[in-house]
Structure 1
C-alpha cells in the first residue's frame, strides 16, 4: 500500500472517529429511533438532532415516540409535570409531545425543581430550630415526594377557585399534610410561572388563603378517619417560629418531668438538659 493510500485511509478513519453521527446515519430508521430513546435527557435529544439534517428529520418524524419515552424515564414526577402543563394550556395530559418547543419548556420546569431542592437545602442551613426528624438533605425518595407536592401546588394555583376546591377535596390525609407543609416553602420566584406570579401580586395573601383551605381539609380528614378532632398549632417545620411536633414533644417531656419530680433528680437533670425554644417570632408569608 502506498503512502498516499495509507494517508487517505487514516484521514477517513479519523473523520469517522471524530464524527460519531457518520456511523449513526448509516443505521436503519428503527435503530436511529432507539438511539434517540436511549439518551439521558431532552436536552441531549435536541443536541443530537442538531448535528445533521438527517437526524433532525428522524426526530421531527417521531417526536411523540422519542420524546415521551425519554421524558417519562428521565423527568422526575413526569405525570404531575404534565398536569401543570395541561393547566398552562400548552398540552393536554392525554396528548403526546408533538412540538420541539415543548422540549425546552419541560427542561426548564425540571431545572426549576432542581433549584427548589437547592433552596430547601439552603433553608435548613440557615434554620436554627432544626427538627431532627426532618431531613436537612433530601434523599432520592424524599426528593420525589418534594417535587410531586410542588407540582400539585403549582397546578392548584393555575385553576379557578371552584376547581381548586375540587382538587383539595380529592386529597387524602397524607397528601394534605405534605402539601400543607411544603406550601410554606413554595417559592413563586423559583417556579418562574408568569400566571402564578401575577396571582401572588393580585392577591398578596393567596398563600395563606390556600394554606387555610388545605389545612381545613386535612383536619376534616383526620377527624373522619381517626374519630378525634385534630387541633394542631398553625406552624409547620418550615415556618417561623418553627413550632411543630418535635417542639411540642420537648415541652410535654419537660412538663412531665416537672410534675413527676424527675426534673430535679440528679441523674435526670444530667441526662435531660432543659431546652428552651423561642416561639415568639412572627410567621412569615409569601
Structure 2
C-alpha cells in the first residue's frame, strides 16, 4: 500500500504554504498536533507570519500592544510561537469586548438618529442601520481598544511620548474608548484609578494639540448634532465620519476655512485595514 501523507512525510514547503492559508488560531491548532508541525512553524516563522498577519485585524496596533507587554519590538520581521499565543489571546479579548459592545450599545444607536432615511441610504446601502458593528466600525473599535490598552500599560513619560505619536483623529477615538463601560484588556472591574488618570491626561493633550493645530479651542465631537448622541461613542460610526472629519479638520464652525492637510490629522491609516 502506498504510504499515506502524515505530518512527517508532507514536504516542509507544502506545510509552510498550508500554515500561510490559515487563520492565526487554526495555525496554532495545527502546530499543536505534532512535534514536526510545530518545528516547521517555529523554524519558518518569518515566512509564515507574513501570511498569517493578514488575518489579524489591526495587526500593526496589536504588535505595538504586544511589544508594550514585553514581546518583540513591533517592527521586528517575525514573532515567536509564544508571541502568536499572546496575539491570539489579545485578539480574543477584543472580540469579546466587541460582542459586549454589540449587545449593549450598537442595537440602540438608531434610537438617537432622527431622521434615519438619509443615513440608511447614504451609508448602509438603503438598508437599516445594522444591529452590529460594520467591518469599518470594527476596525475603529479594535484600533482604539489596542491603543488605549497600551496606554494602560505604560508609565507616564512613555504615555506622553505615545500621545505625540497619535493623529488627532485617533486621539478623539481613544478618548471615547476611555468611557467604554467594560474592563479593557486585563484591567480589573470597575474602572481603575489609572483609567481616571488617563482621562485627564488625554483630555489635556487633546485640547492642547487641537489648539496647536487649529489655533482654536477644542471641539467636543459627541453631541454636535442629533445623529451623534450616541452614549459617548460618536467617532466610531460610519454615518458620523463626514461630520467627524469636519470637526477634526476644523470645518465645522467655519466651512470656508481652508482645511489643514489631511495627513496631519486624518489620512494616515484607513478604516479598512
Q: With the length of structure 1 as denominator, give the TM-score of the two structures.
A: 0.63
Give the superposition deviation at 1:89: 1.0
Alpha carbons 1:150, 1:186 under 8 Å: kept = no
Structure 1 equivalent of residue 30 of structure 2:
48
Structure 1 equivalent of residue 143 of structure 2:
148
Matches of residues 1-286 of structure 1 in structure 2 within 5 Å?
Answer: 16=4, 21-22=5-6, 26-39=9-22, 41-66=23-48, 68-124=49-105, 130-132=111-113, 137-185=132-180, 187-188=182-183, 191=185, 193=186, 196-197=187-188, 204-230=192-218, 232=220, 237-239=230-232
Residue-by-residue CA offset, 1:181-203 (whole Å, 9 max, x unaligned) = 12210633x52x2xx44xx88x9
In structure 2, relative to structure 1, the CA distance for the partners of 1:233 and 1:208 (3 Å cut) is farther
Alpha carbons 2:20, 2:52 under 8 Å: kept = no
Q: Mind listing any 5+ residue stretches in structure 2 that lack a counterpart?
A: 114-118, 120-128, 224-228, 234-239, 241-273
User: What is the alpha-carbon distance in structure 1 between the residues aligned to residue 192 and residue 88 of structure 2?
Assistant: 29
Alpha carbons 2:68, 2:150 under 8 Å: kept = yes
Q: Which has the higher helix share?
A: 1
Give the superposition deviation at 1:115: 0.7
Residue-by-residue CA offset, 1:13-46 (whole Å, 9 max, x unaligned) = xx95xxxx53x6544322221121111x222223
Alpha carbons 1:71, 1:78 under 8 Å: kept = no
Q: With the length of structure 2 as denominator, give the TM-score of the two structures.
A: 0.66
Q: Mind listing any 5+ residue stretches in structure 1 that lack a counterpart?
A: 1-8, 241-245, 247-286
User: What is the alpha-carbon distance in structure 2 between the residues aligned to residue 128 and residue 62 of structure 1?
Assistant: 46
Residue-by-residue CA offset, 1:52-78 (whole Å, 9 max, x unaligned) = 443333223223322x22431111111
In structure 2, the residue corresponding to 1:143 is in which secondary structure?
helix
Computed over aligned residues only, the root mean square deviation of the Cα atoms, in angstroms, reads 3.3
Give the superposition deviation at 1:221: 3.0
Alpha carbons 2:106, 2:132 under 8 Å: kept = no
Alpha carbons 1:185, 1:238 under 8 Å: kept = no
